[in-house]
Chains A and B, each alone.
Chain A
Amino acid sequence: GAGVSQSPRYKVAKRGQDVALRCDPISGHVSLFWYQQALGQGPEFLTYFQNEAQLDKSGLPSDRFFAERPEGSVSTLKIQRTQQEDSAVYLCASAISLPDTQYFGPGTRLTVL
Chain B
Amino acid sequence: GIQVEQSPPDLILQEGANSTLRCNFSDSVNNLQWFHQNPWGQLINLFYIPSGTKQNGRLSATTVATERYSLLYISSSQTTDSGVYFCAGESGGAGSYQLTFGKGTKLSVIP
Contact = CB atoms under 8 A, between A and B. Distances in A.
A91 B98 contact: no
B31 A42 contact: no
Interface size class of B (residues with CB under 8 A): 20 to 34
Interface in A85-113: 89, 91, 93, 95, 98-104, 106-107, 109
A43 interface: yes
A109 B31 CA distance: 27
A107 B95 contact: no
Most buried by A among B50, B98, B100, B101: B98
B102 A33 contact: no
A45 B98 contact: yes
Given A42-B86, A42-B102, A42-B104, A98 B97 contact: yes
Nearest to A91: B43
B98 A59 contact: yes
B42 A100 contact: no
B108 interface: no
A41 B103 contact: yes
A106 B43 CA distance: 7
Contact of A104 (B43, B97, B104): B43
A100 B30 CA distance: 9
Contacts of A48: 97-98
Contacts of B33: 101-102
A30 B45 CA distance: 18
Nearest to A46: B98
B107 interface: no
A42 B88 contact: yes
B41 A43 contact: no
B2 to A, nearest CB: 12
A55 interface: yes
B94 to A, nearest CB: 10
Contacts of A18: none
A102 B40 CA distance: 19
9 contacts: A42-B101, A43-B88, A43-B99, A59-B98, A99-B97, A103-B45, A104-B35, A106-B41, A106-B42
